[in-house]
Structure 1
Amino acid sequence: MRLNPIIAIDGYKVDHRRQYPDNTQIIFSNLTARSTRRAYTDKMVFFGLQYFIKDILIDNWNKDFFEQPKEQVIRAFERRINNYLGPNNVGTEHISQLHDLGYLPIKIKALPEGTLYPIKVPCLVIYNTDERFFWLTNYLETILSANVWGMCTSATTAHQYKKILTQYALETDGSTDFVNWQGHDFSFRGMYGVQAALMSGAAHLLSFTGTDTIPAIDFLEQYYEANSDNELVGGSVAATEHSVMCAGGMENELETFRRLIEDIYPTGIVSIVSDSWDFWQVMTDFTVKLKDKILARDGKVVFRPDTGCPVKVICGDPEAEPGSPEYQGAIECLWQVFGGNTTSQGYKLLDPRVGLIYGDSITIERAEAICAGLKAKGFASTNVVFGIGSYTYQYVTRDTDGFAVKATFAKVAGVDREIFKAPKTDDGTKRSAKGLVAVFKDENNNYYLKDQASWNDVENCEFNTVFENGKLVNTQSLAQIRARLASHL
C-alpha cells in the first residue's frame, strides 16, 4: 500500500506538538542500541539509514505529501485524525506550513554504514533545522525506528556468523576464500512480509554472497549503488526441493539423483535435497552407486539434509550405535566414500566435487557447535554450508538489542535544556544520555559516547551529515559498506 507519511506515526504522537513547552525551538534526539539479550553481542553493525532516507524521507514524503495538492493532504490528515481521536484541537496549521515549506526541515548525522560500534553508543542523531517544526524530530521516531533497528539487527547477526566461520576457516582450512559462500540466506518465506525479507536479506549480504532472496539484490541496487553487472552482489546455485525429489517416487529416488547429476546438470554445482525419506541411505548407498558419475563431473554435488538436529546430523551422534552412519555424521560418511585432501592446517577437506549444506533451524550457537564438532573430528569447517533462515533473522524484536530513539536536548525560548530519563524502577537499561550527544574514537580506535556535549562536538565528531532539508547529502555504496565491515573481522 502507499503510505501516507504524515500519519505514519504512533498515535500518541499526533498532539505532542502542543504538549512541548511553549516556545520550544529545537528537539534533538538519537538512535541507540541500549542493551542486548544476546550473549555474543557487545557491538552492533550500523546499516539501513540510506534506505530509510531514500525510500521514506525522500520518495515517500515527496510523492505522497509534498507533491500532493495541499487541500487533499489536509483533508486526508483531518479525516484520519478525527476518525481516530474524535473531534479534537490537534489542528492542521502545522501540517499546512510544512507542506508550504516543501521539504523536511530535518538534519540527520550518523556513523558510516557498516561501522561496528559498541552497545550504548548512538549510531545517529536527528534534529530540526527550522524552529517552527521542532515537533517533527520525534514525530519521525516511529518510522525511523521501524525501518532501521531490524536491518542493524540482521546485519549484526550475519556479521557474527561471519566471525565464527572466518575463525574456524583460518584454524582448519588456512583459507577464508569459501567463507563468503558459507552463510546462505534462506529466510525469505519465513519473514513477516516481503519488505522485512528484503531489508534483512540486504543486511545478510553485507557479510555473505550466498542468498535465495533474489529481490534483496534489487534492493541493494536501488538503495546502495550496487551493480550486479560489475560486482557480485548475491548469488546461488541450481538446487532442488522436496516436491522435485518426491515427485519422482521413493522407489525411483536413486534414479532422480542420477538424472539430476548426469542429465540435467552434467557440469557445475547442484544442491540436492537428500532427506525426503532415508538420508543415511543416501549417504552410504546412493553415494557409493553414484560415486563414479559424481567424480567424473566437472562440478560439485552438494547433499542437503534438513531434518533432525543439525549438529548430530553433520558431526555425528555420540549416543548412536558406534560405527553407524548416525554415529559418524554426514561429513564423515562423505569422506569414507569420496575422500579428499588435507589442508595446510592438518584437517580433512572433502573432494571438491562433493559438499553438504544444512538449512533448517540453524542458529549462531549451532553453527559454532558444528564448526567445533567438525574440528574435533579432524575435519575443516569449510566442508559445510549453512542455510540461515527466518529462525535466525525473524526471531528477534526491537528489544533484542534495545533500540530506542530518545530526545536528550531541547531549546526552549532561547534557553538550552539538557533532558534525560532515569526511571527509579529501571535496571539502568532505559537511562538515557543527557544533552547533546557526540561520538568520538579513543586512542585504541574504539568508539565512545560523549553526552552533555557542545554543538561543536556534534559537528566535528565521528558523525557525518547524511540528510539535511529534504536531501541525501552523503551516499555510500554496498562495496564501501562491505569493505568497512570486513575491516572489523
Structure 2
Amino acid sequence: MKTKENILLLADAYKYSHHKLYYPGTSTIYSYLESRGGQFNETVFFGLQYFLKHYLEGVVITKEKIDEAAEFLPQVFGRDDVFDRSKFDYILNKHGGKLPIRIKAVPEGTVVPVNNVLMTIENTDPECFWLSNFLETLLMQVWYPNTVSTLSREIRKVVASYFKDTASSSVQDSVDFVLNDFGFRGASSVESAGVGGAAHLINFRGSDTIIGSMLAKNYYNAQQVYGLSVPATEHSVCTLLGEEGELEVFRHVLKTFPTGIVACVSDSFDIFRACSDYWGEELKELVLSRDGVLVIRPDSGDPIFTLLKVFAILMNKFGYTINDKGYKVLPPQVRVLQGDGVNIDTIRFIYGALKVNGISAENLVLGMGGALLQKVDRDTQKFAFKCSYAEINGQPTDVQKHPVELDSHGQLVQSFKKSKAGKLKLIWKDDSYQTVRQENEPGFEDKMITVFENGEITNTSLFEDVRERAKLK
C-alpha cells in the first residue's frame, strides 16, 4: 500500500532553502495545526492516519530517491547551492531512511472548536530541525478530509433537526442514508475522492464513491463496508428509446428490480408528466405492488419549486398518510431523491420549504457531488500550520506571528492570523476543549496523543471509533 511518490519531492520548492535560512544554532522546530475559524465553529479531525500510513511510515528515504532529487532540484532553482543532499543522506545513514519526527494529534473523529490545536510536529534529532516544517506541505493537506467530514457533519445536524421535527418517530435512524455521496466524478483526483469519500462516511452511509469505503477499510481497518448504494438509472438508460419510449423504460426498470430499492431519474423530458402520467397512473399498481421502494429523481430546475410540485403530484396520485408529528408521508413504496444543485444552503431551504408545506422530511433523500467533495478549500475552515516553539543555541524560544491589518475604516487592528506561542496542549476544561501551553494547567492531561515517532505509527484509530467520536451528541 506504500506510495510510489518520492517524499523528497513532496514539498514546496522554497522549503529546500530553509536548512540554510533558519538562524544558526537552531536545533528544534515545533509547529502546530489549527482551524482559525471559517464557515463552521467546530472541526472534525480526520485523515491524518491516511497521510501517515501512505506517505510517512517506515523507510521513506532511500539512495535512489536522494539521487532523483539531486538530479532534479538544481534544475528547479537554476543553481547548485539550494538543495543539500547531505541532509537526506544523514537521515538515511543515521536513521535508516525513517523520519526523525514526532507527531501528536487529537484522536481522529474528535470534534474540536475552531482556534484550537489539532496536531503538533517536532524533530527528534537536532540535526534535522529543518524537517518539521519541510513536511508542512504534505501534512497540511489534512485540511481536506477535515473540511469534508466537518461539512458532512454540519449537514447531518440540519437533516437530523428536520427529521426530529417532521419525520415519524420510527424512522429517525434512517438519517444515516439521507445524504448520498455522488462526488467521485467531480473530485479533482482519485485520491481526493478516496479521502473525501471516507470523510463523508464518518457521518452518513449512503455513497456511490466506492473508493471512500476502500480507503476506510485499507487505512482505518473498517470492519464493514460503510458506503452503501442501490440500483439506479442515469439519463443514458432513460433516454435510450427516446421520449416516446420513456414509459417503456420505466416499466423495464420496475420489472428488472421487482424488490428492494431502485432509483430512476425522471426528468429526461418532463418530470411532471413522468410523476403524474407514468409513475402515478400507468405504472401506479406496479409501483404499489412492489416489495420495495421506487425513488423518483428530478435532476433539473429550481430544487425547491420542482420538489414542491413533484410532491404535490405524487401525493395526489398515490395518496399520503399523516405521521405522528402531523406531517404528510407518501406510501412506503415511493420516495424522492434530489441530487441536483444540492449544497448545505439549499438543503436548509429545501427542508424548510417541505416543513412549511406540511411534508415530512422522511419523503426525501439527497445526493451531493461537487459541493461535498470539491467546493471546499483550505480557507473554508481557515487551516493554518505555524511554528510556535524553537530551540536556538540551546535556549527555548517562543515563536509567534501577530500581524496587524487595516480595517474598513483604515485603522490598524490585530489580524485573525495571529498564531500561538510555545509548546501546546489541548485540554478538556469547563465542558469544552481549550488550548494552553504545555507547562500551564498541570492538572489537565493533553488530549493529543503521539501518533507517529521516528518513522513508526504509534497509535491508530479504527473507522468505527472515528465514527463514534464524531457522532452527534
- What TM-score results when the alignment is normalised by the length of structure 1? 0.91
Counterpart in the other structure of 1:484: 469
Distance 2:4 2:464 in 1: 31
Residues 1:48 and 2:47 are matched in the alignment: yes
Matches within 5 A, 1:441-480: 441-444=428-431, 446-451=432-437, 453-454=438-439, 460-480=445-465
Distance 1:250 1:388 in 2: 27
Counterpart in the other structure of 2:410: none
Residues 1:400 and 2:380 are matched in the alignment: yes
1:227 deviates by 3.0
Contact map agreement 1:436 1:455 (CA 8 A) in 2:
no
Residue number among 302, 325, 332 corresponding to 1:345 in the alignment: 325
Per-residue CA shift, 1:156-202, capped at 9, x if unaligned? Answer: 01001111111111111134211110000001101111111111111
Residue number among 398, 415, 422 corresponding to 1:428 in the alignment: 415
Distance 2:442 2:85 in 1: 36
Counterpart in the other structure of 1:155: 149
Per-residue CA shift, 1:143-162, capped at 9, x if unaligned? Answer: 1012x001000000100111
Q: Which moved more, 1:357-366 or 1:82-91?
A: 82-91
Distance 1:180 1:314 in 2: 21
Counterpart in the other structure of 2:107: 112
**Partner AA of 2:423 in structure 1:** L
Aligned residues: 458
Residue number among 126, 137, 141 corresponding to 1:142 in the alignment: 137
C-alpha change, 1:14 and 1:456, in structure 2 (3 Å) is farther
Counterpart in the other structure of 1:58: 57
Distance 1:85 1:411 in 2: 29
1:373 deviates by 0.9
Distance 2:315 2:260 in 1: 21
Residue number among 337, 359, 368 corresponding to 1:388 in the alignment: 368
C-alpha change, 1:181 and 1:464, in structure 2 (3 Å) is same
**Partner AA of 2:264 in structure 1:** I
Distance 1:376 1:402 in 2: 35
Residue number among 313, 318, 325 corresponding to 1:333 in the alignment: 313
Counterpart in the other structure of 1:249: 242
Counterpart in the other structure of 2:226: 233
1:88 deviates by 2.8
Per-residue CA shift, 1:293-348, capped at 9, x if unaligned? Answer: 11111111110011011111112xxxxxxxxxxxxx21222111112332221111
Distance 1:457 1:479 in 2: 32
Matches within 5 A, 1:193-232: 193-228=189-224, 232=225
RMSD of the TM alignment (CA)? Answer: 1.7
> 2:153 aligns to what SS in structure 1?
helix
Contact map agreement 1:437 1:458 (CA 8 A) in 2:
no
**Partner AA of 1:193 in structure 2:** S
1:455 deviates by 9.2
C-alpha change, 1:371 and 1:78, in structure 2 (3 Å) is same
Distance 1:342 1:20 in 2: 69
> 2:316 aligns to what SS in structure 1?
helix
Counterpart in the other structure of 1:321: none
Structure 2: give runs of 5+ residues left out of the alignment: 407-413
Residues 1:283 and 2:262 are matched in the alignment: no
Contact map agreement 2:30 2:423 (CA 8 A) in 1:
yes
Distance 1:236 1:339 in 2: 27
Matches within 5 A, 1:20-59: 20-36=22-38, 38=39, 41-58=40-57
1:74 deviates by 3.0
**Partner AA of 2:194 in structure 1:** L
Distance 1:192 1:342 in 2: 44
Contact map agreement 1:341 1:351 (CA 8 A) in 2:
yes
Distance 2:443 2:387 in 1: 15
Structure 1: give runs of 5+ residues left out of the alignment: 316-328
Contact map agreement 1:410 1:419 (CA 8 A) in 2:
yes
Distance 1:407 1:457 in 2: 23
C-alpha change, 1:76 and 1:456, in structure 2 (3 Å) is farther
Per-residue CA shift, 1:235-260, capped at 9, x if unaligned? Answer: 11000000000112210111111111
Per-residue CA shift, 1:386-407, capped at 9, x if unaligned? Answer: 1011133311211121111100
Contact map agreement 1:45 1:114 (CA 8 A) in 2:
yes
Residues 1:438 and 2:433 are matched in the alignment: no
Residues 1:355 and 2:342 are matched in the alignment: no
1:457 deviates by 6.2
Distance 1:274 1:214 in 2: 24
Residues 1:274 and 2:272 are matched in the alignment: no
Contact map agreement 2:104 2:448 (CA 8 A) in 1:
yes
Residue number among 44, 69, 73 corresponding to 1:77 in the alignment: 69
> 2:450 aligns to what SS in structure 1?
strand
Contact map agreement 2:391 2:397 (CA 8 A) in 1:
yes
**Partner AA of 1:433 in structure 2:** K
C-alpha change, 1:15 and 1:456, in structure 2 (3 Å) is farther
Distance 1:354 1:250 in 2: 23
**Partner AA of 1:183 in structure 2:** L
**Partner AA of 1:297 in structure 2:** R
% same residue: 36
Matches within 5 A, 1:9-20: 9-20=11-22
Residues 1:133 and 2:125 are matched in the alignment: no
> 2:326 aligns to what SS in structure 1?
coil
Counterpart in the other structure of 2:411: none
Distance 1:206 1:55 in 2: 20
> 1:344 aligns to what SS in structure 2?
coil
Distance 1:459 1:27 in 2: 25
- What TM-score results when the alignment is normalised by the length of structure 2? 0.94
Contact map agreement 2:322 2:328 (CA 8 A) in 1:
yes
C-alpha change, 1:153 and 1:2, in structure 2 (3 Å) is same
Distance 1:458 1:385 in 2: 47
Distance 1:418 1:474 in 2: 28
Distance 1:484 1:418 in 2: 33
Distance 2:443 2:341 in 1: 43
> 2:461 aligns to what SS in structure 1?
coil
